[in-house]
Amino acid sequence: MTTRVRIVGTGLIGTSLGIALVRAGYAVSLADPSPTAVALARDLGAGSVATPDEPPPDVVVVAAPPDVAGSVVARELADWPQAVVTDVASVKVAVLEDVRRRGADLRRYVGSHPMAGRERSGAVAARGDLFDGRAWVVVPSPESSAEATALTRELATAAGGTVRTMSPREHDAAVAVVSHVPQIASSLVAGRLRDVPDEAVALSGQGIRDVTRVAASDPQLWTQILAGNAAAVAQVLEQLHAELGSVIEALHALAEGDGLGAREILARTVAHGNAGHARIPGKHGAAPTSYDVVVVLVPDQPGELGRLLHDVGDAGVNLEDLHLEHGLGQPFGLAEISVLPAVAERLADELVARGWRLHG
């Protein structure tokens, strides 16, 4: 028996999910306030356009913007009294509270958060493999039935996600630290660049580029996300605000005198950052591995980087990570190749033998 899925909202996430589920053999119908958007999603292979007389769905996925997700979930729970309803908003407590406030049947509601986004939005940017290998957090409420939770997990797995289960509060506290607070820090650091002369901005190196990459994100979407997780984000930011205050005090003490004890505050701040950074897992969800980095000078011409990595492959070495850095004003880049320590020396030797110039 084919599982029937109704997707409400055919933006990037809804359309990508439709494509993935159709491929996985589900019967998918699509609804959206915009007839154009839903027709486009259909044309992209995300399912059929929902009709008034279609059979009732087994699962409804609400892929609406965070600030309306709760009301749409409540309406769908009422419209389809046999269906499990989930949503994909990136905040979970606010959506659950909204659904509860509307008196909906919470046994059939289970929240979701697929950790997959793109810089681009809308159905045109949709891909059936958007969720492949990404974490998909399934977020049951205390009222959610075991069957509803199981069906939501099944759907997430079918879409390609790696399922993790958390409570709404755990989820919101986690994304506050690993996503929402980094976004605000990045935006604030980048915002400081508005006021400085061109010559100062010209000294920007890889450090500030990395710190501010997510500062290019969409203000409207992020306002909804931050507003939807306001309490959890505020809590983390308050700790950060207090620590930043201590750093500023220490800097003033150093600027105006010998700053007894001030250096210890600065050193501790950087050391705490070391400790936190070391907890971020490496690829494949494994514990972070310490890789050796082989740095190679790559002429900035078509094919050169390809030739280099072809040579790496020929050497039978597996790349763990790769970062390309361009020097200011130079016609070459630095390719930083991370490999397991055991093979680093052999790789370096093989590359030199093939005529590459190493840089580190």
Q: Does 346 bind a copy of itself (CB under 8 A)?
A: no
Q: Nearer to a copy of itself by C-beta: 53 or 199?
A: 199
CA dist 86 and 138 (Å) reads 9
Q: Which of 33, 103, 147, 248 binds a copy of itself (CB under 8 A)?
A: 248
Binder among 33, 56, 103, 285 for a copy of itself (CB under 8 A): 285
DSSP characters over 218-256: -HHHHHHHHHHTHHHHHHHHHHHHHHHHHHHHHHHHHHH
Scan residues 45-74 and list those touching a copy of itself (CB under 8 A).
none
CA distances from 353 to 104, 107, 314, 315, 317 (A): 69, 65, 13, 11, 15
Q: Does 115 bind a copy of itself (CB under 8 A)?
A: yes
Binding-site size, a copy of itself (CB under 8 A): 141
Q: Six-digit token pair at 80?
A: 């389809």
Mark the segment that binds a copy of itself (CB under 8 A) among 81-89, 97-105, 139-147, 223-231: 223-231
Q: Which stretch binds a copy of itself (CB under 8 A): 22-30, 32-40, 79-87, 251-259?
A: 251-259
Per-position x/- string for 71-110, each x denoting binding to a copy of itself as judged by CB under 8 A, each - no binding: ----------------------------------------
By DSSP bridging, strand 357-358 and strand 321-326 are unpaired
Please state, in angstroms and rounded to a whole number, the distance separating the CA atoms of residues 334 and 300.
Answer: 10
**Among 24, 49, 322, 344, contact with a copy of itself (rule: CB under 8 A):** 322
Candidate residues 47, 186, 351, 356; the one interacting with a copy of itself per rule CB under 8 A: 186
Distance CA 50, CA 174 (A): 36
Cα–Cα nearest to 260, from 272, 252, 268: 252
By CB under 8 A, tell whether 209 contacts a copy of itself: yes
Closer residue to a copy of itself, CB minimum distance, 146 or 328: 328
**The one among 143, 154, 243, 350 contacting a copy of itself by CB under 8 A:** 243
Reference 5, options 121, 213, 159; nearest CA is 159
Binding part of the chain for a copy of itself, among 19-27, 36-44, 58-66, 297-305 by CB under 8 A, reads 297-305
The answer to whether the beta carbons of residues 94 and 119 sit under 8 Å apart is no
Rounded to an integer, what distance in angstroms lies between the CA atom of residue 145 and that of residue 107? 5
Residue closer to a copy of itself (CB basis): 147 or 238: 238
User: Which two three-digit tokens encode residue 79?
Assistant: 């419209």
Q: What single-letter DSSP state applies at residue 280?
A: S
Q: Using CB under 8 A, which residues numbered 154 to 183 contact a copy of itself?
A: 162, 164, 166, 170, 173-175, 177-179, 181-183
List Cα–Cα distances, 49 to 10, 85, 262, in angstroms: 11, 19, 64
Q: Which of 129, 143, 154, 350 binds a copy of itself (CB under 8 A)?
A: 129
Q: Which among 25-33, 71-79, 139-147, 329-337 is the span making contact with a copy of itself, rule CB under 8 A?
A: 329-337
Radius of gyration for the chain, computed over Cα atoms and rounded to the nearest angstrom: 25
Residue closer to a copy of itself by CB (options 100, 307) is 307
Q: Binding segment for a copy of itself among 22-30, 47-55, 78-86, 240-248 (CB under 8 A)?
A: 240-248
- Judged by CB under 8 A, which stretch of 39-47, 78-86, 138-146, 307-315 contacts a copy of itself? 307-315
Q: Which one-letter DSSP state was computed for residue 261?
A: T
Q: Would you give the DSSP letter of residue 179? A: I
Q: Is 355 in the site for a copy of itself (CB under 8 A)?
A: no
- For residue 289, state whether it binds a copy of itself (rule: CB under 8 A): no
Are residues 314 and 356 in contact, defined by beta-carbon separation less than 8 angstroms? no
